[in-house]
């Protein structure tokens, strides 16, 4: 992932490692001893103190109409997010900001800022926002979800029920590689992290952290109306790929063929007098698609 180009529209940021890439422990997490707390308590305190300044509340505003059909802005929902560079880029869930006319971000210091949607991807349920505060902001670094183990401690920070800013809950990785359906869009999110760290409505978009303060996932889905000990987070390795595209292109670049095919059976091959017994029969080719540019043609097209 370090081969990604700079963030794109910003001039002068240079090439090289992105600010939120992993690198040992997050700034401020020293795992020190002392203070009369157990080792685990010290770790919880230190991770929270280091990470919470970079966790934000995300509030959306939509329009409704009064009796006289005048537009009236109303607060539509609330979620969470986290800052990924000092300039104010923020990662959250797509469903947190979907349908919003305005997006407002509240920082840990309670200051509120209007956010611009840099890019959003419904398929992965991820979005990137940007705020301009005129100052450098604390940000989180991302770890490696490929190394996650069931039983490993994780910490979630977010805005449950849209009321309790920067709430910390802890738990473990309950499972990895789960496939779950996103209830709003119906899309299947593949290979997500299951955790028993308490996650409630409003936690969506907040970070799931490892014991070294690095982001390992983004809290996204719960089972049931409130937390039942079953929450799911999108793994950070996928976030890195999606966020890189959204920052650079404003959309996610996905490879595709642009063809509609039919599995070729032996019987069909004999009827069509084809020289092969198996494969895919190309029925149609989308105009301007990679397959079209490569010279593929549908079965009814002239050569």
pLDDT of residue 3: 31
Q: Are 133 and 159 in contact (CB under 8 A)?
A: no
- 85 an active-site residue? no
Tens-digit pLDDT profile for the chain (303 aa)? Answer: 333 333 333 434 445 667 777 666 777 666 555 568 899 999 999 999 999 999 999 999 876 666 666 666 666 678 999 999 999 999 999 999 988 889 999 999 999 999 999 999 999 999 999 999 999 999 999 999 998 999 999 999 999 987 888 999 999 999 999 998 887 777 888 999 999 999 888 899 999 999 999 999 999 988 766 656 689 999 999 999 999 889 988 877 766 677 888 788 888 888 878 888 788 878 888 887 777 778 788 776 554
pLDDT of residue 242: 93
pLDDT of residue 11: 38
DSSP annotation of 15 = S
Task: Report how far residue 174's alpha carbon sits from residue 194's, in angstroms, rounded to the nearest whole number.
Answer: 5
Catalytic, out of 95, 145, 174, 211:
95
User: What is the token pair recorded at 298?
Assistant: 């549908």
pLDDT of residue 12: 40
Give me the long-range contacts of 177-181 (CB less than 8 A, separation at least 24).
178/232, 180/221, 180/232
Catalytic, out of 204, 211, 212, 291:
204
- 95 an active-site residue? yes
Catalytic, out of 22, 80, 89, 125:
125
pLDDT of residue 197: 92
pLDDT of residue 14: 47
- 109 an active-site residue? no
Q: Is 223 exposed, middle or buried (0-12, 13-18, 19+ CB in 10 A)?
A: middle
The CA–CA distances, whole Å, from 303 to 16, 103, 269, 294, 295 equal 46, 52, 20, 13, 9
> Rounded to two decimals, what is the model's pTM?
0.76
């Amino acid at each position: 992932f370090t081969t990604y180009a700079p963030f794109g529209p910003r001039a002068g940021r240079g090439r090289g490692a992105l600010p939120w890439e992993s690198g040992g422990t997050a700034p401020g997490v020293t795992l020190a001893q002392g203070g009369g707390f157990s080792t685990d308590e010290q770790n919880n305190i230190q991770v929270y103190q280091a990470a919470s300044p970079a966790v934000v509340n995300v509030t959306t505003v939509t329009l409704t109409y009064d009796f006289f059909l005048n537009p009236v802005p109303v607060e539509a929902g609330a979620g969470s997010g986290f800052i990924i560079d000092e300039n104010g880029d923020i990662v959250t869930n797509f469903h947190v900001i979907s349908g919003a006319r305005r997006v407002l971000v509240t920082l840990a210091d309670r200051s509120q800022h209007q956010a611009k949607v840099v890019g959003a991807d419904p398929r992965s349920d991820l979005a990137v926002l940007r705020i301009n505060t005129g100052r450098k902001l604390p940000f989180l670094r991302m770890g490696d979800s490929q190394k996650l183990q069931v039983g490993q401690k994780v910490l979630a920070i977010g805005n449950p029920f849209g009321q309790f800013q920067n709430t910390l809950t802890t738990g473990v990785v309950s499972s990895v590689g789960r496939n779950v359906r996103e209830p709003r869009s119906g899309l299947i999110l593949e290979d997500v992290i299951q955790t028993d760290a308490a996650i409630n409505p409003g936690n969506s978009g907040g970070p799931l952290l490892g014991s070294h303060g690095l982001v390992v996932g983004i809290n996204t889905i719960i089972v049931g109306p409130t937390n039942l000990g079953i929450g799911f987070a999108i793994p950070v390795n996928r976030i890195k790929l999606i966020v890189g595209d959204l920052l650079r292109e404003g959309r996610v670049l996905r490879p595709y063929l642009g063809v509609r095919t039919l599995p070729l059976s032996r019987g069909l091959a004999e009827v069509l007098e084809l020289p092969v017994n198996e494969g895919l029969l190309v029925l149609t080719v989308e105009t301007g698609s990679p397959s079209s540019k490569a010279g593929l043609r549908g079965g009814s097209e002239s050569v």
